[in-house]
Chain A
Amino acid sequence: MTNNKDKTLLDNSGVDKTGVDKTLGEVLRSQGVSRRSFLKFCAATASMMAMSPAMIPKIAHALESARRPSVIWLSFQECTGCTESLTRAHTATIESLIFDFISLDYHHTLQAAAGHAAEEAREAAMKENDGKYLLVVDGSIPMDNPGYSTIAGISNYDMLMETAKGAAAIIAVGTCATYGGIPHADPNPTGAVSVGDLIKDKPIINVPGCPPIPVVITGVLMHFLTFGTIPELDHIGRPKVFYGQSIHDRCYRRPFYDKGLFAETFDDEGAKKGWCLYKLGCKGPTTYNACATTKWNDGTSWPIEAGHPCLGCSEPDFWDGGGFYKSLSMPTENITQTAIYTVAGAAAAGVALGAMNKNKKSSAVAAHNKTTIDDLEK
């Protein structure tokens, strides 16, 4: 099946346009997919979109009649981790169906075509689907010198502006495209900016994470494809279904936090007992992402479950927010004090601490704190 998936991706190099006008229902039926299989697909999709199972009939109805959209994917200053994350999404069969469904007309890592043929495929898709295609971007855009990152001799900035013009919506995938990410980290040598910094007249869905969780990427794609709408977004453009709650609010170690039980080192008694990682630098309280419920690697585990604090990878300036292993708001008495209040009113104390942490984070940003080897070895 993996081969099949790869084939689908490679085949969509802009040459094969069969089925662009078919609905997903028609595509699936022509492939001999039974209605029962389709229902399973819808159930998995609902789960992927973090929607209530009560929505399954609605999703089935919408998907039946949804038309195959054209998708153009642009990669700028990035490490290909986001694409890697997406193509390793664990729902192999379901995943291949999604890729059958969309017409991925341009993606320079995945497409077979290269050079002029690839650029022609992009231009053709833009022209044929003007105003209707979905633009996906990973990576940040260097503004200091256009020569820092080019594709086929075209600067990232020019390619983004040109391709965004006819897009129905833009999905910015990964922390680099959404908030600048690693390239934007102090001292930002390339003058890296995010998609949202440059484009103001199109709906943009931010899907941050370094990389984003695979099913969150597919979930957001599927939401747009299923309903043709933008999901509800938070104040920095992230879909609320995935980024609506902090890691801390959904963390299974929270009961320990609430009781004031913290691991002090990575190998002490507290660490062995699975206590809260706050004092080891956990950024869970200021980080909004779906790790605690969706988890990673086929839902196997996630960083905090593996014993490592959250780094805050889905937040703006996460590289400049102080050391990864420095706790957000330090002193022991404060934490214990907070923990005492927390027993009385977990939510209220959480809010108070959140505010405390935000301040701490902003002052760290202001002071341009950098992570040093010392921080890592602490």
Chain B
Amino acid sequence: MSNSTSVQFNIQVGDDLTHNVKPLLNEIKHGLDNLIETGRTTIIDLRSLPLAPGEEEKILNTLGQGEVQAQLNALGLSEVTETQYAGVWIVTHYNDEQHIISRFIEVTTMPEILCSQTEDVMEAYSRLTLDLADNP
């Protein structure tokens, strides 16, 4: 990203540009502290921050990959990944055209979107009941 030989972009990603990476990592640390002390979840909307080109990649690279990677198919694809720091998750929602529509950092033991939702469980119960009645 920082060095392109074939095409000359007038954008460079210098270290002096990345002013938002450190504060964000500190906020995540604070979120972890909160999770340990009170069990409270912190969610950061990455689209609400004025990031320089390359900063988002830098944040994601620093957080790295951990043990869990999940994909959901709900109104388009979503990816839920635990980073190398347990309790710090990246939740990325895509639309049908595989464009990112929102991206959050969640500091929690389990992102809500991964849990089965009561309404869906209730619907599943009635459906299974009907299926069983149809095929005794």
Tell me the A residues contacting B by CB distance below 8 Å.
1, 33-37, 39-41, 43-44, 46-48, 50, 52-54, 56, 90-94, 97, 250-253, 255, 266-267, 271-274, 292-294, 298-299, 301, 305, 307
The answer to whether B10 and A271 touch across the interface, beta carbons within 8 angstroms, is yes
Chain B residues whose C-beta falls within 8 Å of the C-beta of A44 in the assembled complex:
93, 101-102
Cβ of B120 within 8 Å of any chain A Cβ, yes or no, is yes
A35→B45 contact, CB < 8 A: no
Q: Name the B residues within 8 Å of A299 (CB-CB).
A: 47, 100
- What count of chain B residues pass the 8 Å CB interface test? 42
CA distance A305 to B74 in the complex (A): 32
- Min CB–CB distance B122 → chain A (angstroms): 9
Q: Does B24 contact A (CB under 8 A)?
A: no
Instruction: List B57-110 residues whose CB lies under 8 Å from chain A.
Output: 72, 74-76, 78, 91, 93, 95-97, 99-102, 104
Contact A40 B96 (CB under 8 A): no
A255–B99 Cα distance when bound, in Å, is 30
CA distance A236 to B101 in the complex (A): 29
The answer to whether A35 and B118 have CB atoms under 8 Å apart is yes
CB distance from B2 to the nearest CB of A (A): 11
Q: Which residues of A contact B12 (CB under 8 A)?
A: 272-274
User: What's the Cα separation between A50 and B101 when bound, in Å?
Assistant: 13
Tell me how far the C-beta of A9 lies from the nearest C-beta in chain B, rounded to whole angstroms. 17
Select B93's contact among A40, A97, A250, A267, beta carbons within 8 Å: A40
Q: Are B17 and A255 closer than 8 Å at their CB atoms? A: yes
Q: Answer whether residue B23 sits at the interface, using C-beta atoms and an 8 A cutoff.
A: no
- Knowing that A48-B102, A56-B43, A92-B96 are A-B contacts, what are 17 other residue pairs whose CB atoms are under 8 Å apart, sorted by A's residue number? A34-B123, A35-B117, A37-B75, A43-B91, A44-B93, A44-B101, A53-B44, A54-B43, A93-B75, A93-B96, A94-B101, A255-B17, A273-B12, A274-B12, A292-B50, A293-B48, A298-B99
Q: What are 23 A-B interface contacts by the 8 Å CB criterion?
A: A33-B75, A34-B74, A34-B119, A34-B120, A35-B117, A37-B74, A39-B113, A40-B74, A40-B113, A43-B91, A53-B44, A91-B95, A92-B96, A93-B95, A93-B96, A94-B101, A252-B17, A252-B53, A255-B17, A271-B10, A272-B12, A274-B14, A307-B11
Collect the chain B residues with CB atoms within 8 Å of residue A253's CB: 52
Identify which of B43, B50, B118 contacts A251 (C-beta below 8 A). Answer: B50
Q: Is the CB of B97 within 8 A of A272?
A: no
One of B11, B47, B76 near A274 (C-beta < 8 A): B11
